[in-house]
Amino acid sequence: MKKILSACTMLLLLFFYSFFTMAKAEIPSSIYALLPQAEITSTAFWEEDTRNTCFVLTHKEDGTNTLYCFIHENSIWAECFHTTDAIPQGNNAVVIHLSEGAWDFNDSTSKDGQYYRGPILLILQYSEDGRSIEQNIVFQRVDLDTWNLIFYKNYVKSADMKIDDNTITYYTVADKAQTKVVGIAHYHVQRNLRSFALSDIPLSFQQAQELED
């Protein structure tokens, strides 16, 4: 089922964890042959008229999480890319989900916020006890094989940002009902999911200023 996500209310997804995580049996058998020996922890599918997309998240005992992207065209499933750098590592639960769009209610230029047309890929990392979200990472597909980072939140580090091609907008919550812009840094982050690395993101406006292009 496709859903529209709010960038500010993604914590609601915590209550639908089991809905978003598909069983191994739902993955096409031809994809299994392309995967390494690892536990499959989450999957997400996107159906289109001429091709389908399947994301598979795997986990190894050493704490390595890897995200695989498979494309189905001409009756064949093939790996498009895989990455570990874009995924939170460790043994905390990580979940992926695809939706048809997302709202950015931090955007003050519009009363209703800015809408990002999907497909949208959401990656959530949970706390050790599974009761709260520690990180959420949001990508928007901009062409058939390119997924660009648009939002990143790290609740442990109190980091909340919107990422564009050459700028990062940092936000802070002044109170429970109001979000304010801390600053806009002129800093380039490789946004493409294929080559994006979580470690490349400056977690504060001050840090980004020191690294400004």
pLDDT confidence band for 63 (50 / 70 / 90): very high
Whether 22 shows a pLDDT value over 70: the answer reads: no
pLDDT in tens, 89-101: 999 999 999 998 8
pLDDT score for 7: 45
pLDDT in tens, 154-181: 999 989 999 999 999 999 865 555 678 8
Whether 1 shows a pLDDT value over 50: the answer reads: no
CA distance 71 to 34: 12
CA distance 167 to 184: 7
Whether 37 shows a pLDDT value over 50: the answer reads: yes
Q: Give the range among 21-35, 61-75, 110-124, 158-172 with minimum mean pLDDT.
A: 21-35
**Arithmetic mean of pLDDT, 11-39:** 62
Q: Residue 196: what residue type? A: F
**Arithmetic mean of pLDDT, 47-56:** 88
**Arithmetic mean of pLDDT, 17-43:** 72
Pairing of strands 159-163, 168-175: antiparallel
pLDDT score for 109: 53
**Arithmetic mean of pLDDT, 13-34:** 59
**Arithmetic mean of pLDDT, 19-38:** 71
197 in the Ramachandran plot: left (φ > 0), alpha (ψ -120 to 50) or beta? beta
- Judged by DSSP in three states, 11 sits in helix
**Arithmetic mean of pLDDT, 21-36:** 73
pLDDT confidence band for 26 (50 / 70 / 90): confident
Q: Give the range among 80-94, 98-112, 192-206 with minimum mean pLDDT.
A: 98-112
CA distance 127 to 133: 6
> 117, 114, 211, 209: which is closest to 170 by C-alpha?
209
pLDDT score for 121: 95
pLDDT score for 175: 52
CA distance 198 to 138: 12
